[in-house]
C-alpha cells in the first residue's frame, strides 16, 4: 500500500511538472523553479535525494 501511495505521489508530481511546462512560455528561471519543485516532490514521496538530484540534472 505504501509503495502505491509513493508511486501515485511521484506520478502526480511528474504530471504537474509536465502541465506547467507545456502550458506556458518558460524562462530559464521558470524551468529551474519547476525542476526544483519536482525534486522536492520526489523527495517528499520517499525518493532518495541523490536519486531525485540525478533525475533532475541538466
Q: Model pTM?
A: 0.72
Closest CA to 40 of 19, 58, 17, 22: 17
Task: Tell me how many domains the chain contains.
Answer: 1
Give the pLDDT score at 58.
67
Question: Exposed/middle/buried for 13, CB within 10 Å: 0-12, 13-18, 19+?
Answer: buried
- The pLDDT tens digits along the chain (58 residues) read 687 888 888 888 889 888 878 888 889 999 899 899 999 989 998 899 999 999 998 6
Q: Provide the domain limits for residue 32.
A: 2-55
Question: Exposed/middle/buried for 14, CB within 10 Å: 0-12, 13-18, 19+?
Answer: middle
Amino acid at each position: 500500500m505504501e509503495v502505491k501511495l509513493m508511486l501515485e505521489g511521484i506520478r502526480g508530481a511528474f504530471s504537474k511538472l509536465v502541465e506547467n511546462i507545456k502550458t506556458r512560455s518558460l524562462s530559464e528561471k521558470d524551468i529551474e523553479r519547476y525542476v526544483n519543485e519536482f525534486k522536492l516532490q520526489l523527495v517528499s514521496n520517499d525518493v532518495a535525494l541523490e536519486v531525485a538530484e540525478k533525475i533532475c540534472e541538466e
